[in-house]
Amino acid sequence: MLLGLVFGFIVWFIVRYGLSGFYTVNQDQRAIITSFGRAQRIEGMSTADDPIAESLRPDERARYAYPQLRVIQPGGPYWKWPWQRVIKVPITTMTASMAWDPENNSANAGGTFLEAVTKDQLNIALAGQIRWRVSERNIYAYLYGVRNPIAHVMGYFVSILRDRIANFEAPNADDDNAPIPTAGVAPDAPLSVGISINDLRKNLRDINEHMDRECASSAARYGIILDASLITSIDPPQEVESALAAINTAHNQVSSDISLAQAAADQKIVQSKRAVEIETLKAEAEAEPLRRLAEQLTQLNQGSGDALDLYLRNARLSLLTQTRHLITEQRS
């Protein structure tokens, strides 16, 4: 009886902790192993020594120095001890609305748009998407750094975006990074100056690039990489939409008139230059025979004998043959 119990326990132990100890890791996953709740680490290495920490300020590197964990790559089968636990982390790229609140699905109008205030105190609605994934090189921060890392990342992203919107100023016209003006619109047209939503709409690429740069430290902070952010629309409140449309229409009309006037002025300048060139060529064509004649007379004058006198005599005779009326002076 006792032998049967021992044999049964051994069989149960092998089935429970032997065969069930095998596991695999999918291609879109990474795994770590914990022993009695403590994750296996790489001794002497932390995220402060990793290139992902370069995006942190010097005073933040000590605060976000997480230990490096031993990450199990896709494949298998692997085997673990009974006191060990396997934690699998998906590393696929996720897409979410930038207005999504992981802790409150009803926030931000159900995750449809995000409100922000411009520098001229105009409430606007922002819509767009962000792509994110778990950082394989900082899984510790994702699992143990904060309670809900994606909520921290979304809050971090929203705070930076609202700060950018509230303090955004359009680049100067002489700035190398200034956007290229739209065809047919004068770059120095004054009507849109001070209208912050127009500046925001014309510089969406600059705002998106700014967000990518500022959020590059999220991998070192929270273990989540923000692949890209894309703001797709910036809309004003409904009560100012019609007024803003009227301002933009007037701005476009004035810009079009200015462009047409500049084109007409440029055309007149080109025509004037061409007229001056034509008259100059005509004057040169009329003066060229006289210059040639002067050179010939100079050469005859420098020659020997009476060559110049003979030339003048022949010239008179040639003129006399073509003369119909001749007036001579009669001396008394």
Q: Which of 223-237, 263-277, 302-316 has the lowest mean pLDDT?
A: 302-316
Average pLDDT over residues 209-219: 87
pLDDT at residue 140 is higher than 90: yes
**Domains of the chain (ranges, CATH numbers):** 24-172+189-236 (3.30.479.30)
| Helices (H), ranges, 43-116 | 58-61, 107-111
pLDDT at residue 34 is higher than 90: yes
Average pLDDT over residues 118-137: 88
Taking only the tens place, the pLDDT of each residue in 40-80 is 998 888 888 888 888 888 888 888 889 999 999 998 788 88
Q: What is the pLDDT of the chain when averaged over all its residues?
A: 81
pLDDT at residue 13 is higher than 50: yes
Q: With CA atoms as reference, report the closest residue to 311 among 302, 321, 319, 300.
A: 300
Q: Which of 59-68, 178-187, 191-200 has the lowest mean pLDDT?
A: 178-187
pLDDT at residue 186 is higher than 60: no
Taking only the tens place, the pLDDT of each residue in 87-105 is 999 999 999 898 888 888 8
Beta bridge partners of 235: 125
Query: What does the pLDDT read at residue 332?
Result: 60
Average pLDDT over residues 229-249: 72
Query: What does the pLDDT read at residue 187?
Result: 43
Taking only the tens place, the pLDDT of each residue in 278-330 is 888 888 888 888 788 788 777 777 776 677 777 777 777 777 777 777 677 77
258 contacts 188 by C-beta, under 8 angstroms? no
Query: What does the pLDDT read at residue 176?
Result: 47
Query: What does the pLDDT read at residue 70?
Result: 92
Q: Which of 43-52, 146-155, 192-201 has the lowest mean pLDDT?
A: 192-201
Query: What does the pLDDT read at residue 53?
Result: 87
Query: What does the pLDDT read at residue 240?
Result: 61
Separation between Cα atoms, residue 157 and residue 99, nearest integer Å:
10
